[in-house]
Structure 1
């Protein structure tokens, strides 16, 4: 079983399709995998550090020291369709335009790989490991020719939900121009970047500071008295 982060009970996941994918990833992937669910990020636009911040959230980030990183976007509901690069969800009362899920997954992928490179001072750059994105439709089935910006390797429909390990490896290898295995230290550091141990500490109150100064003064006086005792 994969190691899920956070390791929550599936019934705590409100969104049904994400819950289904969470269970499938947990049960089908071996324990060498780390699967992060619902990872938000906040970054400036690429190549513009002083640009306004933009936000995003990766439904799942799948990591393996040998295979690399895969960002997985989940789209629940049975019917989606695309006209060129425009995507729509079919509803009872018509259709609604949605963000291209493959563009969304790709944007999340680049945001996270950029963050890893930036926060490791360039030590873990994208050319050191394989990274990719894919979209899973746990309740839908593919029909018709795919848009030009979609490939079979990065689309997982209901018929492929039972073979997620193969599909994860297939998606990562489809983008992998370089075969790189992360060293254990790099893999751990990547996890630390994506899941930092962040704290906000309570500062010492003025009363504690005064008490500490008095304690130091007392200690110094004791030391002087102690030295004086031996000088006699």
Structure 2
């Protein structure tokens, strides 16, 4: 029996095509029949498309395109018409012209796949409802036409047609299989991980916008403490509140501790009227310079912790630079002295807005930030708006919290097992996998607890891509602490160990930086200690 492949369906639904298919199936072994083969190519200088009702292939005889026309036909001054079973007349394309177009498209396609020299192609038209065929013009003759009675002797008719066209083929079994697989491909394509991640990214942005709109109710509030875990959108909301205050006519200061976050705040805010975004220590230095106060060239840790805020207080008395409102992002990084110095910059009006956004769990610096704080109200954000649901579950599990996510699906986070403390080679391998999955290098960030690992990685590269600093060329590599408050589409997190609570907090902070794709690199025991979900392929 011949090999029959139905591309649209196992069997044709049209009665005329079904008659032809049943006849072709009776061909002996070695013949291959394909039903409903679509094509696309240029016709008359323009791109066109069409389909061949059947293609018949024989490894030594060649290939035939069969066009099928059911019902009766009428030709009026060269124009073709057909009459359906209800007696209705329809204008149709010349079937011989259709068969010729399909043949030429197929020859061009074979040439592209370097098979045209191995098999020649002809065409034939079948009229399965007609007992005989009248003279219908120079484009048609008996040798390239099939009528109803001839379907009973299909091999003889096809052999005559092959001879008429002078067809031949020299196809090996492998070439025949290749040709059939090209015409009727069997393909299973899995979308790259980056595509799945990008879909999640779009939804995350939508949820964040919804949260900003919900938060607009705080417009009536003049200050307060807004608490939220990693990923709850504190920075987005802090920016929204600062911009809202500025639009309402308040000269507003948006301030944070982290240097990288400070740059990000300035970039995201731009330079609108009434709004200044900066880091706390850059503010101290700027005010001291304007007040012409001495600043040491070499600054100790104590200077940054205590003398800088004191210098800001002294500068305020001289410059009298006042703000109408202050918004503090990542307030858990501040000390009570820093908050006091900031209040020197705000007007003496008792209702002057002073907002602090903070996550108590991200208190990495232990500056006792909550001491003496008496906010007029406390607002708690409970839903993770940054991370997809799979990442949010990892973030919550790291510190034994209940997962309250936005419910967005996304790629399953990966745990890449390292033999010991993650090395440069472990990180390079993880990054290579993400690049192979289609992630853009600028969408990736590598986070490490160890500054020395950061420096070593910045001397390495992955293919044409080098490692570098955040917002520089190449793949960003930063410490977890420096990247706190920021986020990226995909994060590779190097975990040196999470035996201590501080290690768990570092993992919590690092994981939450990934919006839609997370790869953790660490030892197997660390995975258990962080309650890493078991649902991983």
Distance in 1 between the 2:152 and 2:412 partners?
Answer: 64
Deviation at 1:188, TM superposition (A): 2.0
Greater Cα radius of gyration, structure 1 or 2: 2
Distance in 2 between the 1:145 and 1:115 partners?
Answer: 33
Q: Which residue of 2 aligns with 1:45?
A: 42
Residues 49-87 of structure 1, C-alpha deviations (whole Å, 9 max, x = no match): xx4x3121111111110111111111111x213346432
State the secondary structure of the residue aligned to 1:164: helix
Q: Which residue of 1 aligns with 2:29?
A: 31
Distance in 1 between the 2:165 and 2:53 partners?
Answer: 20
Deviation at 1:114, TM superposition (A): 1.3
Q: Which residue of 2 aligns with 1:80?
A: 73
Q: CA RMSD, aligned part only? A: 2.9
Q: Which residue of 1 aligns with 2:491?
A: none
* TM-score of the superposed pair, with normalisation by structure 1: 0.77
Q: Which residue of 2 aligns with 1:144?
A: 134
Distance in 1 between the 2:100 and 2:121 partners?
Answer: 10
State the secondary structure of the residue aligned to 2:25: helix
Structure 1 residues 90 and 219, CA, compared in 2 at 3 Å: closer, same or farther?
Answer: same
Structure 1 residues 58 and 9, CA, compared in 2 at 3 Å: closer, same or farther?
Answer: closer
Distance in 2 between the 1:210 and 1:221 partners?
Answer: 23
Match 1:181 to one of 167, 170, 194 = 170
CA contact (8 A) 1:129 1:180 kept: yes
Q: How does 1:6-25 map to 2 (within 5 A)?
A: 6=6, 10=11, 13-25=12-24
Larger mean Cα displacement after TM superposition, 86-95 or 144-153:
86-95
Q: Which residue of 2 aligns with 1:228?
A: none
Residues 109-158 of structure 1, C-alpha deviations (whole Å, 9 max, x = no match): 1112211221x2xx212x43221111111111324334111121111011
CA contact (8 A) 1:85 1:149 kept: no
Matched, 1:215 2:416: yes
Q: Which residue of 2 aligns with 1:227?
A: none
Structure 1 residues 117 and 47, CA, compared in 2 at 3 Å: closer, same or farther?
Answer: farther
Residues 35-58 of structure 1, C-alpha deviations (whole Å, 9 max, x = no match): 1111122x231585xx4x312111
CA contact (8 A) 1:87 1:100 kept: yes
Structure 1 residues 96 and 19, CA, compared in 2 at 3 Å: closer, same or farther?
Answer: same
CA contact (8 A) 2:66 2:123 kept: yes
Q: Which consecutive residues of structure 1, in runs of 5 or more, have no partner in the other structure? A: 225-232
Q: Which residue of 2 aligns with 1:57?
A: 51
Deviation at 1:99, TM superposition (A): 0.4
Deviation at 1:6, TM superposition (A): 2.8
Deviation at 1:184, TM superposition (A): 2.5
* TM-score of the superposed pair, with normalisation by structure 2: 0.36
Q: How many residues align?
A: 210
Q: Which consecutive residues of structure 2, in runs of 5 or more, have no partner in the other structure? A: 198-390, 392-409, 427-537
Residues 165-186 of structure 1, C-alpha deviations (whole Å, 9 max, x = no match): 111121122112x644222232
User: Which has the higher relative contact order, 1 or 2, with Cα contacts under 8 A spaced 6 or more apart?
Assistant: 1
Distance in 2 between the 1:47 and 1:71 partners?
Answer: 20
Q: How does 1:165-204 map to 2 (within 5 A)?
A: 165-176=155-166, 179-204=168-193
Q: Which residue of 2 aligns with 1:67?
A: 61
Deviation at 1:220, TM superposition (A): 5.7
Distance in 1 between the 2:134 and 2:141 partners?
Answer: 13
Structure 1 residues 168 and 201, CA, compared in 2 at 3 Å: closer, same or farther?
Answer: same
CA contact (8 A) 2:6 2:36 kept: no
Structure 1 residues 64 and 143, CA, compared in 2 at 3 Å: closer, same or farther?
Answer: closer
Deviation at 1:93, TM superposition (A): 6.0
Distance in 2 between the 1:136 and 1:15 partners?
Answer: 14
Larger mean Cα displacement after TM superposition, 181-190 or 156-165:
181-190
CA contact (8 A) 1:58 1:108 kept: yes
